Amino acid sequence: MKLLIIEDDIALANTLARRLTKHDFKSYVVNDVNEILQQCQILRPDFVLLDMNLNGVSGLKFIADIRAFLPASRIVLLTGFASIATAVEAVKLGADDYLSKPADTRLIVQTLLGQNGMNEQTLNTDTMSAERVEWEHIQQVLKVNDGNVSQTARQLNMHRRTLQRKLQKRPVLK
């Protein structure tokens, strides 16, 4: 089982590769956004673990191209800032699943193998706290505005600096 880990954090990528090798994955690591598509063509992995933020470049931008090169591969997006908006967007673009960091090795393996229900932990809206609902709403409005923080702040009737502070915080899990 060939796995391509696309992660800009070299230490994390190497740790993931070591851990997943123990679970019968032959792991390869790509840290440079300019090599992603080339390595997909060369390696033809069965699985792709793609980070959401690659040195300031959205991993979402690569999903459709990876899917075009690897129609049968399982693509899992891994992110430190999970939101319903990005999960939905990732799936629309061709990702098979979506995980939020930190994710333990067992959960990553289960998700790569398709043994974990899509976004059960991340997208359960029945038990979300008010803080989580606010985070999700901000993410959706930000997406509609193509990442424009000033425009998003105006639409949310919020000061731009307040919005920036909220965006810098890690989202509440529930």
Nearest CA to 72 out of 37, 28, 120, 40 is that of 40
The reported pLDDT for the residue numbered 128 is 60
74-79 and 97-100: which strand pairing? parallel
Q: What is the pTM of this model?
A: 0.67
The reported pLDDT for the residue numbered 173 is 59
CB of 54 closer than 8 Å to CB of 8: yes
Q: Where in the chain is the domain with CATH 1.10.10.60?
A: 125-168
CB of 15 closer than 8 Å to CB of 29: no
Q: Where in the chain is the domain with CATH 3.40.50.2300?
A: 2-112
The reported pLDDT for the residue numbered 26 is 92
pLDDT in tens, the chain (174 residues): 899 999 888 888 898 899 999 888 999 999 888 888 998 888 999 999 998 888 888 888 999 999 998 899 999 988 877 777 788 888 888 888 888 877 788 888 988 888 765 444 444 444 566 677 777 778 778 887 888 889 888 888 889 998 888 888 766 555
Fold of 2-112: Rossmann fold (3.40.50)
The reported pLDDT for the residue numbered 165 is 85
Asked if the peptide bond before residue 171 counts as cis, ω within 30 degrees of 0, the response is: no
Fold of 125-168: Arc Repressor Mutant, subunit A (1.10.10)
